[in-house]
Structure 1
């Protein structure tokens, strides 16, 4: 009974932080409510901390994010996706490949970072943040220190890009579609990419999520590739174990997103329900980003070493800048 009560209280705390974020955004119209919610969460998490009675509820924030993305599928026009399909696919695959190889080369030949740490940095910065770090770590038997360095670096860039991307978007007057695709292609984690996309507009948010999910879907390919590279002499049993690990770590909510998108586009979900699902998605995002803010621990980010930050920074600046320039040409 106590666990159920703690779960409810934790979710209630997320709701309170979200409402406070919305209130702040009303007083400061230039600050989107999702970004405001994250900032409130960061403030609470790094001053008061996460109360014991709320931890089980706070940990649900990833579930709310996934549920919000699934419901958001109802507002994505399928014909728009199909019309941009080939171009987007090339952009996603090309961006991921370039990001992976640039981080790997910099880590091994310029900064002397160990192979496995470099691989975790490459996976986390090119595909889906900490989720990719964990997935690839399980495939290459990385140790806790290597995982911690890579995850800490990813979280640092998640924090920085939450602030930098909206600022660049407004300062450069980047078109909504271009901004959304840019965020989806180059930001590390799904939560921050979703937040900054919707902080610009609904159009930017929808494109950011769509493109980011396409990148996330490559996690299985990346983890398999790294597993084959590091464990070429593994037994069939180990291969089966890796296959199970890849299925467990694959973001299955992607299937839900696609299912809801199809239902809406074939007319099973009418316009009224699409609007309702969109509002529900926004409230779920509010809970998710409140939890994301609470989880961002500034003291932990300070422990990340210089080398991994330098590797990812150089790769990120080159890839992000090149992708933005390319999007202006092809879109």
Structure 2
């Protein structure tokens, strides 16, 4: 008599469709992004991206939701934190116009590049001084000096850094960027800053684009205009920084393979999503896209990055962070102060 074998039920084990596995987390992220941008619409001073991270952290640590984000929703949330982040980085390029950047003038461009370089090197040195691991130090330096979580995601992909290792750097860059929203406007008047200088300072020192907008708009439209252009000039440096990180990683892999007498597939110098970012910058700069398409791209980018940041935030466990992240928090605050000072010095030269 033939023995019948029971097949695994659909939806279990290796037969479980990927869509069914990812759907709970992706739907959770979509709901969180909706809430974040509803709150942002009611309180414009609170950036949607920052709210998405905060909601993720709350979801990971509140008793009623921690089990969900750490269990059934985890696969989809990890997918959002990794893959939707890359899509958001591509569309971020639609916000950068080469013409707007060149309008700043060569002196301003040189100063912005110098601030980014000094911020990167200084933040990396501070992180290592506080005994953070090299990978964490690299990601913190990247996020603080260029464009926050987007830059962290890009360099993590280039260097093949595990998704879990991006969680702490994203939390730190979000915390310090949020701190800037409250602190910088308070000290602008005591420092005697004009609106133009304050805008340039915000663009040169605050991490995320949304945080720059929330901070600069407190000083009026003039401050906001120069802040956004200065910030997007920093964003433009994401591509060369990613390329440099890719070249360095390839050389390290090649040297390791030579030492071990093995060969392995080399990672790309620049991943496709970074090339996509460059392509979107070129498309925006060409002037071919109508404003309506740019608005659609900006909305989609906000949705993708918001979902990605919620996914990353949902992996932050406050108890673990308090036990292991004390040194990291001190390093982040010291780095935030360094970048604020460097950005202020550059702002006086750019717009003073």
Contact 2:29/2:311 (<8 A) preserved: yes
Q: Name the CA shift for 1:271/1:52 in 2 (closer, same or farther; >3 Å).
A: same
Residue 190 of structure 1 corresponds to none
> Relative to 1, partners in 2 of residues 1:234 and 1:101: Cα closer, same or farther, differing over 3 Å?
farther
Match in the other structure for 1:46: 61
**Corresponding residue for residue 117 of structure 2:** 96
User: In 2 relative to 1, CA 14–210 (structure 1 residues): closer, same or farther, beyond 3 Å?
Assistant: farther
**Larger proportion of helix:** 1
Deviation at 1:21, TM superposition (A): 1.9
Q: How far 1:214 moved relative to its partner?
A: 1.0
Distance apart, 1:80 and its partner CA: 1.2
Paired position in structure 1 for 2:179: 164
Cα distance per residue 1:239-283 (max 9 Å; x no partner):
997992463xx5542321221222233243233322322232233
Q: Is the 8 A contact 1:95 1:126 kept in 2?
A: no
Structure 2: gaps spanning 5 or more residues: 1-15, 144-151, 189-194, 218-223
**TM-score (normalised: structure 1):** 0.71
Task: Say if 1:25 and 1:132 are closer, same or farther in 2 by CA, change over 3 A.
Answer: closer
Contact 1:152-1:304 within 8 A present in 2 as well: no
Which deviates more from structure 2 when the two are superposed, residues 232-241 or residues 263-272?
232-241
Per-residue CA distance 1:196-224 (angstroms, 9 max, x = gap): 23544685567535514514632453576
2: CA distance between counterparts of 1:21 and 1:215? 26
Unaligned residue ranges in structure 1 (runs of 5+): 139-143, 188-192
Measured after TM superposition, the shift of residue 161 of structure 1 is 1.1
Q: For the structure 1 residues 45 and 88, does the alpha-carbon distance in structure 2 shift closer, same or farther, using more than 3 Å as the test? A: farther
1:297 paired with 2:317, answer yes
Instruction: Tell me if the contact between 1:180 and 1:197 (Cα under 8 Å) persists in the aligned partners.
Output: yes
Q: Answer with 21-30 or 73-82: which moved more.
A: 21-30
Q: 1:273 aligns with which of 261, 284, 293?
A: 293
Contact 1:76 1:261 in 2 (8 A): yes
Larger radius of gyration: 2
CA distance in 1, matches of 2:287, 2:42: 39
1:63-89 Cα offsets, whole Å, 9 max, x none, are: 333323322433432211233475435
How large is the Cα RMSD of the aligned pairs? 4.1
The question of whether the paired residues in 1 share the 8 Å contact of 2:123 and 2:140 is answered with: no
Counterpart of 2:204 in structure 1 is 181
Distance 2:277 2:253 in 1: 33
Cα distance change on mapping 1:239 and 1:18 into 2, 3 Å? farther
Change (3 A) 1:235 1:85: farther
1:214 aligns to 2:237 (yes or no)? yes
Is 1:58 aligned to 2:116, yes or no? no
Alpha-carbon spacing, 1:226–1:308, altered in 2? closer, same or farther (3 Å): farther
- Comparing 54-63 with 8-17, greater Cα deviation is found at 54-63
Match runs of 1:206-285 below 5 Å: 207-215=230-238, 217-221=240-244, 236=258, 244-245=266-267, 247=269, 250=270, 252-285=272-305
Measured after TM superposition, the shift of residue 16 of structure 1 is 0.8
Contact 2:91-2:277 at 8 Å conserved across structures? yes
Q: Residues 27 and 309 (structure 1 numbering): CA distance in 2 closer, same or farther, change over 3 Å?
A: closer
CA-CA distance at 1:120 after TM superposition: 3.9
